[in-house]
Amino acid sequence: MTIPKKSLGQHWLRDEPSLTAMADAANVTPEDTVLEIGPGLGTLTQVLVHRAKQVVAVEFDRELAEDLSARVMASNLEVVQQDILQFDLTSLPPNYKVAANIPYYLTSKIVRTLLESPNPPAITSLLVQKEVAERMAAAPGELSVLGVSVQFYCEAALGKVVPAALFTPPPEVDSQIIALTRRSAPLFTDVTPKAFFRVVKAGFAEKRKMLRSSLSGGLHISKEAADALLIKANISSQARAQELSLEDWHRLTLSLVE
């Protein structure tokens, strides 16, 4: 029996309805190439190889990677023993899809790698901590840098909740599937991602403070200059970062670059 490694955040999931829901969330079809991150014992891999044209399974754990081809005997499976953060996403065909039960501690890094890749996936179905899934799909009032980043590039939809008890070993919290569908066109065409996220990160730098203070510190400008930016963008100086919509951040970015 393969023992999950705590250091790698491994939690095995064998629940068939949950695995099926992950493949469903990625809308996997017989024409698709699917990237699976951290296939582990191959329970999701088994579902994917029956649906997809090709499955590329990237596994960091050498022992698991070596065993996977024997666990899942399929001609359309390619196993790559590598850190997903080092994997060349441009080696995959355009509009590939992602389905993965990923280690909690790597969620933000993996999401950022996928979103910012020159060859991003068309749809990404991830099983993550329920709280993190909710943050990705949050509305203004509950937004974070993660939520703004995800929604800048994708449309986010929450899926099935997977209770902790269905995993071996059970994690401390429940998980949830989230589907990220890449936008067919950029959300904003008149600002660069670099300029947009410079303002967003400055605004969230001290999220407990009002925006005028956060922007002043994060952009290295006076509070008076921050007030002027907020007035120009028609945003209250009393507002806090989590309250702003993506459109608000867009106007704020334009106010800075104009």
Single-letter code of the amino acid located at 94: P
187 located within any domain: no
Distance between CA atoms of residues 177 and 160, nearest Å: 5
pLDDT at 2: 61
pLDDT at 85: 95
Distance between CA atoms of residues 98 and 34, nearest Å: 5
pLDDT at 119: 98
Last-in-domain residue among 131, 157, 182? 182
Kindly tell me if the per-residue pLDDT of 258 is higher than 70.
Answer: no
Which value, in Å, is the radius of gyration of the alpha carbons in the chain? 20
- 62-95: pLDDT as tens digits: 999 999 999 999 999 999 999 999 999 999 999 9
Kindly tell me if the per-residue pLDDT of 128 is higher than 60.
Answer: yes
- CATH of residue 247's domain is 1.10.8.100
> 3-state DSSP helix/strand/coil percent for the chain, to nearest 5?
45, 20, 40
Instruction: Provide mean pLDDT across the span 87-106.
Output: 94
Kindly tell me if the per-residue pLDDT of 96 is higher than 80.
Answer: yes
- 166-186: pLDDT as tens digits: 988 777 899 999 999 999 999
Instruction: Provide mean pLDDT across the span 38-51.
Output: 95
Kindly tell me if the per-residue pLDDT of 1 is higher than 60.
Answer: no
1 located within any domain: no
Specify whether 126 is located in the same domain as 198.
no
Closest CA to 198 of 229, 227, 228: 229
Share the mean pLDDT of the chain: 93
Closest CA to 32 of 54, 11, 48: 54
Instruction: Provide mean pLDDT across the span 119-128.
Output: 97
* Domain extent for 155: 6-182
Percent share of the chain, pLDDT over 70? 95
Instruction: Tell me how many domains the chain contains.
Output: 2
Q: Which long-range contacts (CB under 8 A, 24 or more apart) does 103-109 make?
A: 103/8, 103/9, 103/10, 103/38, 104/9, 104/128, 104/129, 104/132, 104/171, 105/9, 106/9, 107/132, 108/146, 109/85
- CATH of residue 61's domain is 3.40.50.150
Backbone dihedral angles phi then psi of residue 126, each to the nearest 5 degrees? -120, 145
pLDDT at 221: 93
Percent share of the chain, pLDDT over 90? 84
19 located within any domain: yes
Specify whether 198 is located in the same domain as 176.
no
Single-letter code of the amino acid located at 172: E
16 located within any domain: yes
Are 73 and 136 a contacting pair, CB within 8 Å?
no
pLDDT band at 3 (very low <50, low <70, confident <90, very high): low
Are 34 and 28 a contacting pair, CB within 8 Å?
yes
